Amino acid sequence: MDSRMAILTEVQFMHGFFNDGRCRCLSVAPADSSLRDMMRYGLLLKVKPDGFRLLYDANHTGSPRSRSELLYQVLTIRILLSLEDTDFYNYTSPLFIDPVRQVLYFCNRPGRPFLHTEEQVSGSDVFETTPPCKRPGRKIVLEPSERQPFKKPFAILDLRLYPGLENNYHIFFQARSTWWNYILVGDHLTELHMPAILLQSDKKQTAGSPSTQPFTGPSTIRLRDSRTGISFISPAPVEVRENPAATCTLVEDFDQTTGKYKVVIATLPVPDGRIISRAHTFNKQPDLSEIILY
């Protein structure tokens, strides 16, 4: 029997941390019940590194059929998403998921190109899970899998096939933002005259917003080994990126009024996007990325 596969819809995973915006951290597989429905209706899941395509057989059962004809079946395909990157939470905006009893839940809604509640994945997409025998309420029924009985998915996607199905959907994860905290420790740095750290952002500035901003500081702090250091805190949380969109410069003889200064280190190291400090000590800021300069 001849078959001709055509695209029914496509889902792309996106993440603000990566340079190209493509998230390759998730693997996908249909739930057992949906796998049976896909075989029945001539559907095929074609996996891509950053998402998947749902294909349909345009010559199913030997008779031509159109995309619109199939969508009148009003069918729901459940896709299970598994997390493949153990560093994912380090560079992703906090989601506060309890992996034992919670899961991210996505679904398509009429007229919306994204599959989450807000424009980016957020806490609004976190749901409790429940076995099939329990009443769901605001919970997602977690179906047992014969293929992977002990594996719990990172997220569940219910893709409802109906006449208003979009050709393309996306799931967008926001990159994490942290307060950057530079600490000068080396004698040649702590003895600088009127030191400052300047933040140069590559993002477009709004009207009246300076392109270069000084960090808050300097302030003297005591380190864990009883030494003292000079601390600077970024003027606002800075987004963590695969290739940072911000450049920081250490200067001395900084004059806030005239903007004049002498460059000491033109390009300072930036936080490792995959290893984020969990410090909670400076001005009660909840998310500090510490960079110690010797």
Average pLDDT over residues 57-74: 85
**Region 240-260 average pLDDT:** 88
pTM of the predicted model, to two decimals? 0.83
Q: Residue 11 above 90 pLDDT?
A: yes
In the predicted model, is pLDDT for residue 8 greater than 80?
yes
Strand pairing partners for 171? 13
Rounded mean pLDDT, 224-253: 88
Q: pLDDT (tens digit, 9 = 90+) per residue, 200-218?
A: 876 554 444 456 899 999 9
Note the Cα 153 to chain centre separation in Å: 17
**Res. 278: pLDDT tops 70:** no
Positive or negative torsion for Cα 267, 269, 274, 279: negative
pLDDT of residue 28: 96
Query: Which strands form 212-214's sheet, in the order they lie side by side?
Result: 212-214, 196-201, 246-252, 262-265
Between 186 and 224, name the one with better pLDDT: 186
